[in-house]
Structure 1
Amino acid sequence: MQRMRAIFSYLAHLEWTEKKQKDCIFCDRTKFQGNIVYETDTLFAINNISKAGTYHWLIMPKEHQWRDVESLVYEDTQLLQSMIDLKKELLQKHCPAVSPKNIHSGFHRGRRVLFRDVYWPDIISIHHLHMHVIVEPRFWLWLFKYPSWLPLMWKSEKQIEQELKRKSAER
Protein backbone atom coordinates (compact mmCIF):
# COMPACT_ATOMS: atom_id res chain seq x y z
CA MET A 1 0.00 0.00 0.00
CA GLN A 2 2.82 2.39 0.84
CA ARG A 3 4.42 1.56 -2.51
CA MET A 4 1.18 2.49 -4.31
CA ARG A 5 1.04 5.81 -2.44
CA ALA A 6 4.61 6.57 -3.48
CA ILE A 7 3.83 5.83 -7.14
CA PHE A 8 0.64 7.92 -7.01
CA SER A 9 2.50 10.80 -5.35
CA TYR A 10 5.20 10.66 -8.01
CA LEU A 11 2.66 10.76 -10.85
CA ALA A 12 0.65 13.52 -9.19
CA HIS A 13 3.69 15.75 -8.87
CA LEU A 14 4.87 15.43 -12.46
CA GLU A 15 4.50 18.61 -14.48
CA TRP A 16 1.53 17.82 -16.71
CA THR A 17 1.02 21.48 -17.61
CA GLU A 18 3.57 24.01 -18.78
CA LYS A 19 5.74 25.31 -15.98
CA LYS A 20 8.09 28.22 -16.35
CA GLN A 21 10.98 28.58 -13.95
CA LYS A 22 11.56 32.11 -12.74
CA ASP A 23 15.13 31.55 -11.59
CA CYS A 24 17.68 29.36 -13.35
CA ILE A 25 20.51 28.09 -11.18
CA PHE A 26 22.67 27.57 -14.30
CA CYS A 27 22.40 31.29 -15.06
CA ASP A 28 23.63 32.22 -11.57
CA ARG A 29 27.33 31.35 -11.60
CA THR A 30 27.66 31.90 -7.84
CA LYS A 31 25.75 28.65 -7.32
CA PHE A 32 28.38 26.50 -9.06
CA GLN A 33 31.51 28.60 -9.60
CA GLY A 34 33.75 26.03 -7.87
CA ASN A 35 32.26 23.19 -9.92
CA ILE A 36 33.24 24.45 -13.38
CA VAL A 37 35.57 21.93 -15.04
CA TYR A 38 35.82 23.54 -18.48
CA GLU A 39 34.71 26.75 -20.15
CA THR A 40 34.70 28.25 -23.64
CA ASP A 41 33.21 31.48 -24.97
CA THR A 42 29.82 29.84 -25.48
CA LEU A 43 29.76 26.68 -23.31
CA PHE A 44 30.76 25.44 -19.91
CA ALA A 45 30.88 22.09 -18.16
CA ILE A 46 30.33 21.50 -14.46
CA ASN A 47 30.49 18.52 -12.16
CA ASN A 48 26.99 17.33 -11.35
CA ILE A 49 26.45 17.56 -7.60
CA SER A 50 24.53 14.25 -7.75
CA LYS A 51 27.06 12.03 -9.49
CA ALA A 52 25.63 9.01 -11.28
CA GLY A 53 29.04 7.54 -12.13
CA THR A 54 32.79 7.93 -11.74
CA TYR A 55 32.46 11.27 -13.53
CA HIS A 56 29.20 13.07 -14.21
CA TRP A 57 29.39 16.35 -16.10
CA LEU A 58 26.71 18.71 -17.32
CA ILE A 59 27.60 20.55 -20.53
CA MET A 60 25.51 23.59 -21.38
CA PRO A 61 25.46 26.84 -23.32
CA LYS A 62 26.16 30.00 -21.36
CA GLU A 63 23.11 31.66 -22.89
CA HIS A 64 19.70 30.74 -21.58
CA GLN A 65 18.27 30.68 -25.10
CA TRP A 66 17.13 27.03 -25.06
CA ARG A 67 14.82 25.55 -22.45
CA ASP A 68 15.45 21.91 -23.30
CA VAL A 69 16.41 19.53 -26.08
CA GLU A 70 12.92 19.69 -27.56
CA SER A 71 13.45 23.35 -28.51
CA LEU A 72 16.45 22.68 -30.76
CA VAL A 73 16.04 23.41 -34.46
CA TYR A 74 18.28 22.76 -37.46
CA GLU A 75 20.09 26.08 -36.96
CA ASP A 76 21.25 24.76 -33.57
CA THR A 77 23.27 21.95 -35.15
CA GLN A 78 26.52 23.81 -34.47
CA LEU A 79 25.58 24.21 -30.79
CA LEU A 80 24.96 20.49 -30.47
CA GLN A 81 28.24 19.72 -32.25
CA SER A 82 30.10 22.07 -29.90
CA MET A 83 28.61 20.26 -26.91
CA ILE A 84 29.65 16.89 -28.36
CA ASP A 85 33.17 18.21 -29.04
CA LEU A 86 33.45 19.43 -25.45
CA LYS A 87 32.30 16.01 -24.25
CA LYS A 88 35.08 14.36 -26.28
CA GLU A 89 37.65 16.82 -24.91
CA LEU A 90 36.61 16.13 -21.30
CA LEU A 91 36.72 12.38 -21.85
CA GLN A 92 40.16 12.59 -23.47
CA LYS A 93 41.50 14.72 -20.64
CA HIS A 94 40.01 12.89 -17.63
CA CYS A 95 39.50 9.30 -18.68
CA PRO A 96 41.13 8.40 -22.02
CA ALA A 97 41.32 4.69 -21.16
CA VAL A 98 37.58 4.28 -20.52
CA SER A 99 35.76 2.32 -23.20
CA PRO A 100 32.98 4.18 -25.08
CA LYS A 101 30.55 1.47 -23.96
CA ASN A 102 31.10 2.69 -20.38
CA ILE A 103 30.13 6.25 -21.25
CA HIS A 104 26.49 7.30 -21.21
CA SER A 105 25.54 10.71 -22.53
CA GLY A 106 22.44 12.50 -23.64
CA PHE A 107 19.56 14.71 -22.56
CA HIS A 108 16.49 14.32 -20.40
CA ARG A 109 13.38 14.94 -22.46
CA GLY A 110 11.70 18.30 -22.12
CA ARG A 111 8.24 19.66 -22.60
CA ARG A 112 6.17 18.11 -25.40
CA VAL A 113 2.47 18.57 -26.10
CA LEU A 114 0.36 15.52 -25.36
CA PHE A 115 -3.05 17.10 -26.03
CA ARG A 116 -3.87 20.82 -26.28
CA ASP A 117 -2.57 22.40 -23.05
CA VAL A 118 -1.58 19.08 -21.50
CA TYR A 119 2.04 18.04 -21.85
CA TRP A 120 4.01 14.88 -21.42
CA PRO A 121 5.58 15.05 -17.97
CA ASP A 122 8.58 17.35 -17.95
CA ILE A 123 11.54 15.12 -17.08
CA ILE A 124 14.08 17.90 -16.66
CA SER A 125 14.40 19.68 -13.33
CA ILE A 126 16.27 22.74 -14.60
CA HIS A 127 14.93 24.49 -17.69
CA HIS A 128 18.28 25.36 -19.26
CA LEU A 129 19.54 23.10 -22.04
CA HIS A 130 22.18 20.71 -20.67
CA MET A 131 23.74 17.42 -21.73
CA HIS A 132 24.68 14.73 -19.21
CA VAL A 133 27.98 12.90 -19.65
CA ILE A 134 28.27 9.97 -17.25
CA VAL A 135 31.42 7.87 -17.11
CA GLU A 136 30.99 4.34 -15.78
CA PRO A 137 27.38 4.97 -14.70
CA ARG A 138 25.93 3.29 -11.65
CA PHE A 139 23.65 0.56 -12.95
CA TRP A 140 20.41 1.50 -11.20
CA LEU A 141 20.73 5.19 -12.04
CA TRP A 142 21.58 4.39 -15.66
CA LEU A 143 18.60 2.06 -15.83
CA PHE A 144 15.97 4.34 -14.26
CA LYS A 145 17.12 7.98 -14.11
CA TYR A 146 19.13 8.15 -17.35
CA PRO A 147 17.40 5.40 -19.37
CA SER A 148 18.54 5.14 -22.97
CA TRP A 149 15.95 2.36 -23.34
CA LEU A 150 13.05 4.73 -22.57
CA PRO A 151 12.60 7.42 -25.25
CA LEU A 152 9.85 9.08 -23.18
CA MET A 153 12.58 10.19 -20.76
CA TRP A 154 15.92 10.28 -22.60
CA LYS A 155 17.51 11.22 -25.93
CA SER A 156 21.09 10.59 -26.92
CA GLU A 157 23.00 13.23 -28.83
CA LYS A 158 23.04 10.82 -31.79
CA GLN A 159 19.24 10.78 -31.84
CA ILE A 160 19.15 14.57 -31.75
CA GLU A 161 21.70 14.82 -34.57
CA GLN A 162 19.48 12.54 -36.68
CA GLU A 163 16.39 14.61 -35.88
CA LEU A 164 18.14 17.86 -36.82
CA LYS A 165 19.29 16.31 -40.12
CA ARG A 166 15.75 15.15 -40.81
CA LYS A 167 14.45 18.67 -40.07
CA SER A 168 17.06 20.03 -42.48
CA ALA A 169 15.89 17.69 -45.25
CA GLU A 170 12.28 18.79 -44.70
CA ARG A 171 13.19 22.46 -45.31
Structure 2
Amino acid sequence: MCPAVAMAAVETGEASKNSSEPAAGYEKKCIFCRIVNNEMGTELLHSDEEISCFRDIKPGAPHHYLVVPTKHVGNGKSLSKEHVPLVNRLVDIGKEILQKNNVTDLSDVRFGFHWPPFCSVTHLHLHVLAPASQMGFMSRLIFRLNSYWFVTADQLIEIISSKGDTN
Protein backbone atom coordinates (compact mmCIF):
# COMPACT_ATOMS: atom_id res chain seq x y z
CA MET A 1 0.00 0.00 0.00
CA CYS A 2 1.44 3.36 -0.94
CA PRO A 3 1.97 5.90 1.87
CA ALA A 4 -0.81 8.23 0.68
CA VAL A 5 -3.34 5.37 0.58
CA ALA A 6 -2.14 4.11 3.97
CA MET A 7 -2.58 7.58 5.51
CA ALA A 8 -6.08 7.90 4.01
CA ALA A 9 -6.93 4.47 5.42
CA VAL A 10 -5.83 5.57 8.90
CA GLU A 11 -7.82 8.81 8.66
CA THR A 12 -11.01 7.03 7.55
CA GLY A 13 -10.66 4.12 9.97
CA GLU A 14 -10.16 1.61 7.16
CA ALA A 15 -6.71 0.66 8.43
CA SER A 16 -8.11 -1.19 11.44
CA LYS A 17 -10.36 -3.26 9.16
CA ASN A 18 -7.35 -4.40 7.14
CA SER A 19 -4.92 -4.89 10.01
CA SER A 20 -3.88 -8.33 11.18
CA GLU A 21 -5.21 -7.60 14.66
CA PRO A 22 -8.14 -9.91 15.50
CA ALA A 23 -11.46 -8.35 16.37
CA ALA A 24 -12.58 -8.37 20.00
CA GLY A 25 -14.09 -11.73 20.85
CA TYR A 26 -12.12 -13.58 18.16
CA GLU A 27 -9.62 -16.33 18.94
CA LYS A 28 -7.55 -17.02 15.83
CA LYS A 29 -6.76 -20.60 16.91
CA CYS A 30 -10.43 -21.43 17.56
CA ILE A 31 -12.03 -23.39 14.72
CA PHE A 32 -15.52 -22.04 15.54
CA CYS A 33 -14.29 -18.43 15.55
CA ARG A 34 -12.81 -19.10 12.13
CA ILE A 35 -16.06 -20.66 10.89
CA VAL A 36 -18.27 -17.77 12.03
CA ASN A 37 -15.82 -15.34 10.42
CA ASN A 38 -16.21 -17.16 7.06
CA GLU A 39 -12.60 -18.35 7.02
CA MET A 40 -13.43 -22.04 6.55
CA GLY A 41 -15.98 -22.11 3.74
CA THR A 42 -18.61 -23.59 6.06
CA GLU A 43 -22.22 -22.69 5.24
CA LEU A 44 -23.71 -20.57 8.00
CA LEU A 45 -27.38 -21.39 8.48
CA HIS A 46 -27.75 -18.37 10.77
CA SER A 47 -25.41 -15.51 11.55
CA ASP A 48 -25.91 -12.27 13.43
CA GLU A 49 -23.85 -10.22 15.86
CA GLU A 50 -24.65 -12.56 18.75
CA ILE A 51 -25.32 -16.08 17.40
CA SER A 52 -24.21 -18.27 14.48
CA CYS A 53 -25.28 -21.76 13.42
CA PHE A 54 -23.83 -24.39 11.09
CA ARG A 55 -24.05 -28.16 10.51
CA ASP A 56 -21.92 -30.51 12.59
CA ILE A 57 -19.24 -32.16 10.41
CA LYS A 58 -19.86 -35.51 12.15
CA PRO A 59 -23.65 -35.60 12.44
CA GLY A 60 -25.09 -37.74 15.21
CA ALA A 61 -28.64 -37.49 13.84
CA PRO A 62 -30.30 -36.62 10.52
CA HIS A 63 -30.36 -33.00 11.69
CA HIS A 64 -27.29 -32.04 13.75
CA TYR A 65 -26.50 -28.37 14.12
CA LEU A 66 -24.07 -26.40 16.25
CA VAL A 67 -25.31 -23.08 17.58
CA VAL A 68 -22.50 -20.88 18.87
CA PRO A 69 -21.93 -17.37 20.15
CA THR A 70 -20.52 -15.35 17.24
CA LYS A 71 -17.89 -13.91 19.59
CA HIS A 72 -15.67 -16.35 21.44
CA VAL A 73 -17.12 -17.56 24.73
CA GLY A 74 -15.45 -20.37 26.66
CA ASN A 75 -17.05 -23.67 27.60
CA GLY A 76 -19.95 -24.22 30.02
CA LYS A 77 -17.73 -24.06 33.12
CA SER A 78 -16.65 -20.52 32.23
CA LEU A 79 -20.23 -19.19 32.23
CA SER A 80 -21.95 -17.18 34.95
CA LYS A 81 -25.50 -16.06 35.75
CA GLU A 82 -25.10 -13.24 33.22
CA HIS A 83 -24.90 -15.85 30.43
CA VAL A 84 -28.40 -17.29 31.00
CA PRO A 85 -29.94 -15.06 28.28
CA LEU A 86 -27.20 -16.18 25.86
CA VAL A 87 -27.91 -19.86 26.52
CA ASN A 88 -31.64 -19.24 26.03
CA ARG A 89 -30.95 -17.46 22.75
CA LEU A 90 -28.77 -20.37 21.54
CA VAL A 91 -31.72 -22.69 22.15
CA ASP A 92 -34.16 -20.31 20.45
CA ILE A 93 -31.97 -20.14 17.33
CA GLY A 94 -31.63 -23.94 17.38
CA LYS A 95 -35.43 -24.26 17.37
CA GLU A 96 -35.70 -21.75 14.51
CA ILE A 97 -33.19 -23.72 12.43
CA LEU A 98 -35.10 -26.94 13.08
CA GLN A 99 -38.36 -25.31 12.00
CA LYS A 100 -36.72 -23.99 8.81
CA ASN A 101 -35.70 -27.58 8.10
CA ASN A 102 -39.22 -28.93 8.68
CA VAL A 103 -38.52 -30.50 12.08
CA THR A 104 -41.66 -29.77 14.05
CA ASP A 105 -41.64 -32.47 16.76
CA LEU A 106 -39.57 -30.76 19.45
CA SER A 107 -40.25 -33.64 21.86
CA ASP A 108 -37.82 -35.74 19.75
CA VAL A 109 -34.93 -33.25 19.85
CA ARG A 110 -31.83 -33.18 22.00
CA PHE A 111 -30.35 -29.79 22.96
CA GLY A 112 -27.14 -29.88 24.97
CA PHE A 113 -23.52 -29.09 25.67
CA HIS A 114 -20.50 -31.28 26.30
CA TRP A 115 -19.19 -30.69 29.80
CA PRO A 116 -15.47 -30.08 30.36
CA PRO A 117 -13.13 -31.84 30.08
CA PHE A 118 -15.20 -33.63 27.42
CA CYS A 119 -15.21 -30.71 24.96
CA SER A 120 -13.30 -31.06 21.71
CA VAL A 121 -13.64 -27.29 21.05
CA THR A 122 -13.55 -24.81 23.93
CA HIS A 123 -15.83 -22.31 22.14
CA LEU A 124 -19.29 -22.68 23.71
CA HIS A 125 -21.54 -24.66 21.35
CA LEU A 126 -25.03 -26.05 21.64
CA HIS A 127 -25.64 -29.38 19.93
CA VAL A 128 -29.08 -29.60 18.31
CA LEU A 129 -29.91 -33.16 17.26
CA ALA A 130 -33.14 -34.33 15.66
CA PRO A 131 -34.83 -36.67 15.60
CA ALA A 132 -33.18 -38.00 18.73
CA SER A 133 -34.99 -41.30 18.21
CA GLN A 134 -32.89 -41.85 15.06
CA MET A 135 -29.52 -41.36 16.73
CA GLY A 136 -27.18 -44.34 16.37
CA PHE A 137 -25.55 -46.23 19.22
CA MET A 138 -22.40 -44.08 19.40
CA SER A 139 -24.38 -40.83 19.19
CA ARG A 140 -26.68 -42.02 21.98
CA LEU A 141 -23.55 -42.58 24.06
CA ILE A 142 -21.79 -39.32 23.15
CA PHE A 143 -24.94 -37.22 23.62
CA ARG A 144 -26.29 -39.22 26.55
CA LEU A 145 -28.61 -37.44 28.93
CA ASN A 146 -27.76 -37.45 32.65
CA SER A 147 -24.09 -38.21 32.02
CA TYR A 148 -20.87 -36.63 33.24
CA TRP A 149 -19.99 -35.43 29.76
CA PHE A 150 -23.22 -33.96 28.33
CA VAL A 151 -25.69 -31.53 29.92
CA THR A 152 -28.95 -30.24 28.54
CA ALA A 153 -29.48 -26.53 28.05
CA ASP A 154 -31.83 -26.55 31.07
CA GLN A 155 -29.18 -28.25 33.21
CA LEU A 156 -26.56 -25.71 32.13
CA ILE A 157 -28.88 -22.84 33.01
CA GLU A 158 -29.49 -24.40 36.43
CA ILE A 159 -25.73 -24.84 37.01
CA ILE A 160 -24.78 -21.28 36.03
CA SER A 161 -27.79 -19.74 37.79
CA SER A 162 -26.66 -21.26 41.06
CA LYS A 163 -23.04 -20.07 40.78
CA GLY A 164 -22.18 -17.93 43.73
CA ASP A 165 -25.07 -19.19 45.84
CA THR A 166 -24.00 -20.14 49.34
CA ASN A 167 -26.49 -23.01 49.71
TM bracket (short chain) = 0.7 to 0.9
Q: Partner of 1:124 in structure 2?
A: 119
Judge conservation of contact 1:148–1:154 (CA < 8 Å) in 2: yes
Root mean square deviation, CA, Å: 2.2
Indicate the residue corresponding to 2:142 in structure 1: 145
Aligned to 1:9: none
Work out the CA distance in 2 between the residues paired with 1:77 and 1:170: 19
Structure 1 residue 22: Cα displacement: 7.6
Question: Residue 79 of structure 2 aligns with which residue?
Answer: 72
Bigger fraction of residues in strand: 1
- Other structure's SS at 2:45 match: strand
User: Are residues 1:107 and 2:105 paired?
Assistant: no
Local SS of the residue matching 2:118: coil
Contact kept, 8 Å, 1:25 with 1:31, in 2: the verdict is no
Q: Cα deviations across residues 105-148 of structure 1 (Å, max 9, x unaligned)?
A: 100001xxxxxxxxxxx211111110100012413133211111
Q: Distance in 1 between matches of 2:125 and 2:160?
A: 17
Q: Please list every run of 5 or more consecutive structure 1 residues that lacks an aligned counterpart in the other structure.
A: 1-20, 111-121
Per-residue displacement from partner, 1:23-73 (whole Å, max 9, x unpaired)? 211111345433211112111000011111111000001111x22011110
- 1:1-171 residue pairs with structure 2 within 5 A? 23-29=29-35, 30-64=38-72, 66-97=73-104, 99-110=105-116, 122-137=117-132, 138-150=135-147, 152-167=148-163
Q: Distance in 2 between matches of 1:156 and 1:105?
A: 6
SS of 1:53's equivalent in the other structure is coil
| Seq. identity, % | 23
Residue 80 of structure 1 deviates from its aligned partner by: 0.9
Bigger mean CA deviation after superposition, 29-38 or 129-138:
29-38
| Cα separation, 1, equivalents of 2:87 and 2:166 | 19
Following the alignment from structure 1 to structure 2, what is the Cα–Cα distance between the partners of residues 51 and 31? 21
DSSP-derived class of the 2:42 partner: helix
What's the TM-score once normalised by structure 2's chain length? 0.73
Secondary structure of the structure 1 residue equivalent to 2:33: coil
Partner amino acid for 2:81? Y
Q: In structure 2, how many angstroms separate the alpha carbons of the residues matched to 1:87 and 1:170?
A: 33
Secondary structure at 2:110 match in 1? strand
TM-score by length of 1: 0.71
How many angstroms does 1:170 deviate by? 5.3
Comparing 123-132 and 139-148, the one that deviates more:
139-148
Q: Is the 8 A contact 2:80 2:161 kept in 1?
A: no
Q: Distance in 1 between matches of 2:40 and 2:28?
A: 18
Q: How many residues align?
A: 137
